[in-house]
A and B are shown apart, each in its own frame.
Chain A
Amino acid sequence: MTSLTDFIFGPLAYPFMIRGLIAAVIVGVVCAVVGSYMVLRGMAFFGDALAHTVMPGVAVGYLIHGRASGPLFWWGLATAVLASVTIGSLSKRARIKEDTAIGIVFAGMFALGIALISTVQSYTVDLTHFLFGDVLGVAWSDIWLTGGFGMLVIATIVLFYKEFLIVSFDPTLAATQRLPVNVFYYLMLVLIAIAIMVALQTVGVALMLAMMVTPAATAYLLTSRLPSMMLVAALIGAASGVLGLYLSYHAEMASGAAIVLVATLFFVLAFLFAPRRGIVWRHSED
């Protein structure tokens, strides 16, 4: 059917669509894999907060370099890594719960960023919106960057899979096996920071967060083992990206919102119909 061919291949005539699809797939996969750990350890708030803690770093970079987006990325990345390690160390050492530590660091750093900008010019624009991305606006250089870091993150998770598994599931076992628990704890935080920063640069704040959490939560309902959970999450993340962009094209919807809506729809379907865990299933068992 020509209309079906048009439907699928029409958008591909535009280079920005092709780049957008590639970026969405890469970000979807990387975020889903990292997001699996975040979902299991209850770190969704951490992810959101981290996206905002990059503000002062980006602000400093902006003051020094102007609007060139290259250096800003590195400033943001350094800040994200530093912030995540700080939050991790606060919640481990002090009597502060992780939740509280996140709130403190997040609000403080965000305010610092705004203050830095506002002392120089009198508009207190939220730079994260100003500087961070839109999946339709990725350049090929962004894709290389995203792809490179994405591969680094996934390779690390795969290589140290069993260590991360133990540290997440049973830290005492890790201690009895003389595993350096702290090293892997902080390594995971750094990986999360990298994934967040890369996704932020590519697709923006709201989309990044949804890509971290929603596909992983959906996969959690559908699988019972961690490797399959990460795989299913990655597939759902990629599928949400592709379908979302097509939706944006054919239904004239904002691209980021479309992707998030598709991902959420997947979650709702799983929530209702997942075997053994879905609501509908459980009702029919009664």
Chain B
Amino acid sequence: MDYAKYVSPFSSIQWYTKSLWTSQPEPAPYLTKVLAQRYANYSFGCSFTKGNGMGALDLQDDMDWPMIASVPTTLDPILRVADLQVRYHNGVALGSLAFEIERGERIAIVGPNGAGKSTLLKSIAGLLKPTTGSIQLNCKQDDTRLSIAYVPQRSDVDWSFPVNVSDVVMMGLTGRLGLLRWPRASHRALVARCLERVGMQDFAKRQIGELSGGQQQRVFIARALAQEAELLLMDEPLTGLDIRSQETIFKILDDLKEQGVTVLVSTHDLNQAAERFDRVMLLNKTLLGFGDADSIFTPQRLAAAYGGHLRVIQTGDSVVMLEDGYCGARESETV
């Protein structure tokens, strides 16, 4: 079967099937091609589970289940998180996280809505204070100051604010300018260069509300470039973008990788997470796995992360996993 045409860029597209075991099951709209191929050789006894708890999946091979599934070879952690816990008024958002990220890595953070992806990114950015635990930056160097850029979720931005594209990028220079200093020609030139690198130089004077989704993301990436960020945190940047825009973003990210910029991206797209990122972090309030996609995207871990919101479908020889948000989807965290 050609699954490619069913690869959907939209996250959490919900699909119900009435019958699991019909001989000609409907091809699922949300497919992870990789998973399907990977598990082609397994046969599963599958069942639906509702509510929390792990799926009752019988696996033929016994999986030993370390949290950190793989560690890169170079050991220069740019970020080390230890025993991190973040609480809100209404409960724990993140609990007992511990991991390290190496310089230059490109990491995808996946998990269902409400898993704490935004919370984690904001904590690393310094906007939220952890209740307990620590976030260490630039671990090997003596200097722990690290230039971090945070690209917010599009829904968190006030697009009607009267600023244009250049203004937004210039904001990235505020810290460097310092108090009581004004931008000079050299700063404006820097802003122009950053816009060129993301291909937005023609839009410099547009008010930000007039931009498309992909263009908006690129503006914020340009701002991160102006900040000369070594660590770039992006909160669901690919959500709602068409394939072309996504590809443009990835090209820019490749560019950044060459320069050694570490990138953390939260996403709902498991396929992309598996294919385009060095390591994948599976999160659902706690760390359920961190390593390369092969080790992380196992049915057990996925079931633990997505709980009863995961449907397992057998289509012929292969199996696909679907995130199902229809029944009792948790509300996305409001931060």
CA distance A160 to B178 in the complex (A): 10
The verdict on A2 contacting chain B, using a C-beta distance below 8 Å, is no
When distances are taken between beta carbons in the complex, the residues of chain A under 8 Å from B91 are none
Interface residues of A in 203-225 (CB under 8 A from B): 220, 223-225
Interface residues of A in 123-177 (CB under 8 A from B): 159-160, 162-163, 165-166, 168-173, 175-177
**Interface stretch (choices B57-65, B103-111, B158-166):** B158-166
Q: Decide: A226 and B163 in contact? CB cutoff 8 A.
A: yes
Q: How far is the CB of A175 from chain B (nearest CB, A)?
A: 4
Report how many residues on chain B are interfacial, defined by Cβ distance under 8 Å: 27
Interface residues of B in 165-181 (CB under 8 A from A): 167, 170-172, 174-175, 177, 179-180
Given that A160-B179, A162-B177, A176-B149 are known contacts, is A170 also in contact with B171, CB under 8 Å in the complex?
yes
When distances are taken between beta carbons in the complex, the residues of chain B under 8 Å from A175 are 125-127
When distances are taken between beta carbons in the complex, the residues of chain A under 8 Å from B177 are 162
Closest B residue, CB atoms, query A94: B89
- How many chain A residues sit at the interface, stated as a range, is 20 to 34
Q: Decide: B126 and A224 in contact? CB cutoff 8 A.
A: no
Q: Decide: B122 and A172 in contact? CB cutoff 8 A.
A: yes
Q: Decide: B175 and A225 in contact? CB cutoff 8 A.
A: no
When distances are taken between beta carbons in the complex, the residues of chain B under 8 Å from A225 are 162-164, 167, 207
CA distance A225 to B163 in the complex (A): 5
Among A173, A223, A224, A229, point to the contact of B150 (Cβ < 8 A). A173
Q: Decide: B174 and A176 in contact? CB cutoff 8 A.
A: no
Q: Decide: A169 and B171 in contact? CB cutoff 8 A.
A: yes
When distances are taken between beta carbons in the complex, the residues of chain B under 8 Å from A229 are 162
Q: Decide: B164 and A224 in contact? CB cutoff 8 A.
A: yes
Given that A40-B161, A176-B148, A220-B162 are known contacts, is A162 also in contact with B171, CB under 8 Å in the complex?
yes
Q: How far is the CB of B160 from chain A (nearest CB, A)?
A: 9
* Interface core residue of B127, B152, B164 (most chain A CB under 10 Å): B127
Q: Decide: B158 and A169 in contact? CB cutoff 8 A.
A: yes
Q: Decide: A179 and B163 in contact? CB cutoff 8 A.
A: no
CA distance A179 to B179 in the complex (A): 10
When distances are taken between beta carbons in the complex, the residues of chain B under 8 Å from A169 are 158, 161, 163, 171
Q: Decide: A179 and B125 in contact? CB cutoff 8 A.
A: no
When distances are taken between beta carbons in the complex, the residues of chain B under 8 Å from A163 are 174, 179
Q: Decide: A176 and B125 in contact? CB cutoff 8 A.
A: yes
Closest B residue, CB atoms, query A181: B127
The verdict on B189 contacting chain A, using a C-beta distance below 8 Å, is no
Given that A162-B174, A176-B150, A178-B175 are known contacts, is A171 also in contact with B163, CB under 8 Å in the complex?
no
The verdict on B266 contacting chain A, using a C-beta distance below 8 Å, is no
Closest A residue, CB atoms, query B157: A170
Q: Decide: B162 and A177 in contact? CB cutoff 8 A.
A: no
Closest A residue, CB atoms, query B147: A176
Closest B residue, CB atoms, query A160: B179
When distances are taken between beta carbons in the complex, the residues of chain B under 8 Å from A283 are none
Closest B residue, CB atoms, query A173: B171
Among B164, B167, B174, B180, point to the contact of A177 (Cβ < 8 A). B174
B contacts, CB < 8 Å to A: 89, 122, 125-127, 148-150, 152, 157-158, 161-164, 167, 170-172, 174-175, 177, 179-180, 207, 223, 227
A-B contact pairs, 25 of them (CB 8 A): A159-B180, A162-B170, A162-B171, A162-B174, A162-B177, A163-B174, A165-B171, A166-B174, A169-B163, A169-B171, A170-B171, A171-B127, A172-B125, A176-B125, A176-B126, A176-B148, A177-B175, A178-B175, A179-B175, A223-B162, A224-B162, A225-B207, A226-B161, A226-B163, A228-B162
